Amino acid sequence: MTDSKYFTTTKKGEIFELKAELNSDKKEKKKEAVKKVIASMTVGKDVSALFPDVVNCMQTDNLELKKLVYLYLMNYAKSQPDMAIMAVNTFVKDCEDLNPLIRALAVRTMGCIRVDKITEYLCEPLRKCLKDEDPYVRKTAAVCVAKLHDINAQLVEDQGFLDTLKDLISDSNPMVVANAVAALSEIAESHPNSNLLDLNPQTINKLLTALNECTEWGQIFILDCLASYLPRDDRESQSICERVTPRLSHANSAVVLSAVKVLMKFMEMLPKDLDYYGTLLKKLAPPLVTLLSAEPELQYVALRNINLIVQKRPEILKHEMKVFFVKYNDPIYVKLEKLDIMIRLASQANIAQVLAELKEYATEVDVDFVRKAVRAIGRCAIKVEQSAERCVSTLLDLIQTKVNYVVQEAIVVIKDIFRKYPNKYESVIATLCENLDSLDEPEARAAMIWIVGEYAERIDNADELLESFLEGFHDESTQVQLQLLTAIVKLFLKKPTETQELVQQVLSLATQDSDNPDLRDRGYIYWRLLSTDPVAAKEVVLAEKPLISEETDLIEPTLLEELICHIGTLASVYHKPPSAFVEGSRGVQHKRLPPRAGSGESTESPDVGQSGPSEAPPAVIPSQGDLLGDLLNLDLAPPTATVPSVQPSMQMGAMDLLGGGLDSLVCSSPAMGAGLGAAPAAMPASLGSAPAVGGGLGDLFDLGGGVGMPTGSYVAPKTVWLLAMKAKGLEISGTFARRGGIIQMDLSLTNKAMSVMTDFAIQFNRNSFGLAPAGPLQVLTPLSPNQTIDVSLPLSTSGPVMKMEPLNNLQVAVKNNIDVFYFSCQYPLSLLFVEDGKMDRQVFLATWKDIPNDNEAQFQIKDIHLNSDVASNKLQGSNIFTIAKRTVEGQDMLYQSVKLTNGIWVLAEMRIQTGNPNYTWMCWRRPHVRECVSQNDSPVIS
């Protein structure tokens, strides 16, 4: 048989020929033709034109031909619904066939045809098939209910199929049970609160019985379903565990992982002092290790899951370090995952072995892997104090190899080691300095600069080294610039005599020549500190640094719990909750581990939101994958990166409102004189570069002072937008407000001319958030000389969008009977914060982790005498919602979410030092770890 020939027909009149062949009398020829059609369909050709001819072949005794026609139908019925109806009779007839295989085939195919008319005809045959005497037909019908539900959920409910499906859980045939469970689980997912599965001890018992008898796939369906059950007490939990553990010896890895999921979940309920608990822990290790001898793809899935399990219950695999050693021929994805787990399992007992391995890996070929191995060595040093010295010498050996990326990675981790063990390994600094020139990655450069600054007094030529970096200051990334600034200030404080010039140079570079607000602000702070009180500066800049934590890359506990409930699934592979990658209603339910029975250990899952100042949850710094990335991740991209990017495609074609109008403006306003070129950007230069978001928030806080502020959005006082002298006597001042969810522009129009003004109208240029007048400007009476009227103009956000610079700039044209006038104004960004901006906490957590570093930005807000609760209430008035609060080391941290009118979310972390209410630290989108705060910006905090 050489069916491959069907793939090579590319002639022109092909469809015609096929049509003729399909209508041939000869059975063989017909079959050949259908095969050709299917082959064409496979490679993506459109053969839908042959629909009637193919359907004509359906009435046949030849099962192979019939299956091919069905395959065609499933593909094209949706595009030809009217003709698909031609097939219904055959389907209905086949559902009555004597041969169970044909009955099942008909009901299986019919469910795949997503045409409303056909689904109506499907109900009766399906009902019969669900009660068919043959189990093969019943198991197929069970799945068909899920198919039908996907097309028309209401129909399934109305026809009572759900009840029939529930009955099938008690079916005598295990495969029917398994498919019914699968179908019900899927349907239940789209009805989160329906209690459709209605699991109770009786049904659980039935499932456990079927578990022993059905196919490997059926066992997976049943185990996954069991995992969603919540046992009533620890006894029931134990008895289920006992019946599930035999599955750990199944040859199918998916069965094993699903069993592990059930056990991990139900174990939560068992008291820890129970003997059985210990037995269970012991039983879990061997099957997990066995998974590593499966095919590489499965190893990958297993390793991603083991990573979670090791975080949740490190005791299970603590003696199994060796099995995670990397093999030379492992695919790279397996290698990287093994490495991750090795670091998690590293302890004093096995550190020697681990280090020897890591050193071996650092000489491999794959760059990512080598980098990770080098970082891992640093991690070991921080995690296991006894090994630090050996780690440092290993790292030095690696630096000697002079392999560029190895050197850079090593320097980054050595910096962390310095932080963890200050004043211990300074002898290596000389070696590090030798490699200064080869560093071309910002992170490595910043790390090196930090080291030089920190140990400036011991490096003779520290000033020369830093000066060499200073030459290309403007070409450096922000991270390096900030670090360089801090390092030079440190150097100056340590060796004031020789470095005065240098410090002045860097301060002027940072404050005058840079347009990065972070850098400028930091520069000014240092400048003022140094000029007013050098002693204080010393205390602040050279203050003790807080210790760095050793477990920075742990998954946040609540997320970890959820992921444990998803062992084996994609969520556990991505380490993200299903809601982060599944569309629609499916998977939005958040699963949680059951509370432990008995001894008061129910606080195992600290709820971030509820934890008061006394019981601080473990300070886990969320980060993704990156080993030490956040530990000292010093600085961030400029704040403009945070601001929602607004359809860049529309950037061109701007200025239609102002472009032409500008000329007339120039001509008609004698007062302006020469400097009119800058008219459209007629705003204070300083504002031009200030971050829009930060500015808006500053305003919110500027209210300051009073505590009992009414809740509600802050409204700035009116400012003059259009001067009378520029607009033939019309003066416009105004402000923006958000009242009850509606954005309003409050305008005061004053007539300073001699004649009456009428016929007012207003128009906006396209702007960043699509602001547009929701109605006409309501100035009904003519405006007589020296009269002022106040108007409120409701705005909508459905106008055309164009990115503005700054983002919150709004260009307005106002017309009256005299002329058209143009002005621009800026609206506070808080105007666009919508009322439903409160993000679900789980979603928040998940999203928080996904924010790339580049999107972070931070602002300082000064002189706020508010405690966190008041601040939080006040911000809520402006639709900045506090999702969670926690207190770490005397700092209140508020996690906040804001939603803009265009659907963009902004997440923020706000830090408030309770002891010292003068300053508040804001971080946007991503936490900026406290090391950073204290190290580089301690002037701000303390």
- Residue 184 binding other proteins, by CB under 8 A: no
* Beta carbon nearer to other proteins, 185 or 787: 185
CA distances from 410 to 352, 421, 627, 809, 938 (A): 19, 16, 13, 46, 27
Contacting other proteins (CB under 8 A), which of 205, 293, 348, 461?
293
How far is 658 from 672, CA to CA, in rounded Å?
17
Task: Answer for the pair 578, 563: CB distance below 8 angstroms, yes or no.
Answer: no
DSSP 722-736: E-GGGTTTEEEEEEE
**Site residues (CB under 8 A) for other proteins, limited to 305-344:** 322-323, 325, 327-329, 332-333
- Residue 75 binding other proteins, by CB under 8 A: yes
- Residue 302 binding other proteins, by CB under 8 A: yes
How far is 684 from 241, CA to CA, in rounded Å?
70
* Beta carbon nearer to other proteins, 819 or 840: 840
CB of 27 to other proteins, least distance (A): 11
The encoded tokens of residue 104 equal 């099942």
How far is 770 from 266, CA to CA, in rounded Å?
52
- Residue 252 binding other proteins, by CB under 8 A: yes
- Amino acid letter, residue 126: L
CB of 162 to other proteins, least distance (A): 17
Question: Any bridge partners for residue 772, and if so which?
Answer: 796
Among residues 471, 402, 467, 464, the alpha carbon closest in space to that of 439 is found at 402
CB of 819 to other proteins, least distance (A): 51
Q: x/- string (CB under 8 A) for other proteins, residues 124-163?
A: ----------xxxx-xx--xx-xx--x-------------
- Amino acid letter, residue 371: R
Q: Name the region of 214 (left: φ>0; alpha: ψ -120 to 50; beta: rest).
A: beta
Contacting other proteins (CB under 8 A), which of 52, 201, 278, 286?
286
**Site residues (CB under 8 A) for other proteins, limited to 95-114:** 98-101, 104, 108, 111-112, 114
Contacting other proteins (CB under 8 A), which of 24, 164, 245, 549?
245
Q: Roughly how many angstroms between the first and final C-alpha of the chain, as a whole number?
A: 82
Q: x/- string (CB under 8 A) for other proteins, residues 186-205?
A: x-------------------
* Beta carbon nearer to other proteins, 329 or 614: 329
- Amino acid letter, residue 461: N
Among residues 84, 53, 57, the alpha carbon closest in space to that of 69 is found at 57
**Site residues (CB under 8 A) for other proteins, limited to 669-708:** none
**Site residues (CB under 8 A) for other proteins, limited to 574-633:** 574, 578, 581-583, 586-587
How far is 180 from 142, CA to CA, in rounded Å?
5
How far is 762 from 370, CA to CA, in rounded Å?
62
Contacting other proteins (CB under 8 A), which of 296, 314, 852, 890?
296
Radius of gyration from C-alpha coordinates of the chain: 35
The encoded tokens of residue 558 equal 């609540």
How far is 927 from 940, CA to CA, in rounded Å?
17
CB of 515 to other proteins, least distance (A): 36
* Beta carbon nearer to other proteins, 245 or 902: 245
- Residue 28 binding other proteins, by CB under 8 A: no
Task: Answer for the pair 635, 933: CB distance below 8 angstroms, yes or no.
Answer: no
CB of 141 to other proteins, least distance (A): 11
* Beta carbon nearer to other proteins, 241 or 456: 241
How far is 876 from 830, CA to CA, in rounded Å?
11
Q: How many C-beta atoms surround the C-beta of residue 664 within 10 A?
A: 13
- Residue 27 binding other proteins, by CB under 8 A: no
Contacting other proteins (CB under 8 A), which of 58, 240, 269, 287?
287
Contacting other proteins (CB under 8 A), which of 153, 155, 254, 870?
254
CB of 308 to other proteins, least distance (A): 13
* Beta carbon nearer to other proteins, 290 or 934: 290
Q: Is the peptide bond before 806 cis (omega within 30 degrees of 0)?
A: yes
Contacting other proteins (CB under 8 A), which of 24, 152, 164, 173?
173
Contacting other proteins (CB under 8 A), which of 35, 127, 313, 458?
35
In sequence order, what are the residues at sequence separation of 6 or more whose Cβ sits closer than 8 angstroms to the Cβ of residue 551?
383, 620
* Beta carbon nearer to other proteins, 146 or 444: 146
* Beta carbon nearer to other proteins, 59 or 249: 249
**Site residues (CB under 8 A) for other proteins, limited to 399-418:** 401-403
* Beta carbon nearer to other proteins, 108 or 312: 108
Q: Is 23 exposed, middle or buried (0-12, 13-18, 19+ CB in 10 A)?
A: middle
Q: x/- string (CB under 8 A) for other proteins, residues 214-243?
A: xxxx--xx--x------------------x
CB of 188 to other proteins, least distance (A): 14
Contacting other proteins (CB under 8 A), which of 38, 412, 564, 795?
38
Q: x/- string (CB under 8 A) for other proteins, residues 547-576?
A: -------------------x-xxxxxxx--
Contacting other proteins (CB under 8 A), which of 23, 80, 228, 290?
290
- Amino acid letter, residue 682: A
* Beta carbon nearer to other proteins, 100 or 422: 100
CB of 61 to other proteins, least distance (A): 8
Q: How many residues bind other proteins (CB under 8 A)?
A: 113
Tell me the residue length of the chain: 942
How far is 325 from 357, CA to CA, in rounded Å?
7
**CB-based contacts of 647-652 (< 8 A; 24+ apart in sequence):** 647/801, 647/802, 647/803, 648/803, 650/766, 650/800, 650/801, 650/802, 650/803, 651/802, 651/803
* Beta carbon nearer to other proteins, 310 or 804: 310
Q: How many C-beta atoms surround the C-beta of residue 806 within 10 A?
A: 19
Contacting other proteins (CB under 8 A), which of 170, 202, 279, 363?
363
**Site residues (CB under 8 A) for other proteins, limited to 471-490:** none
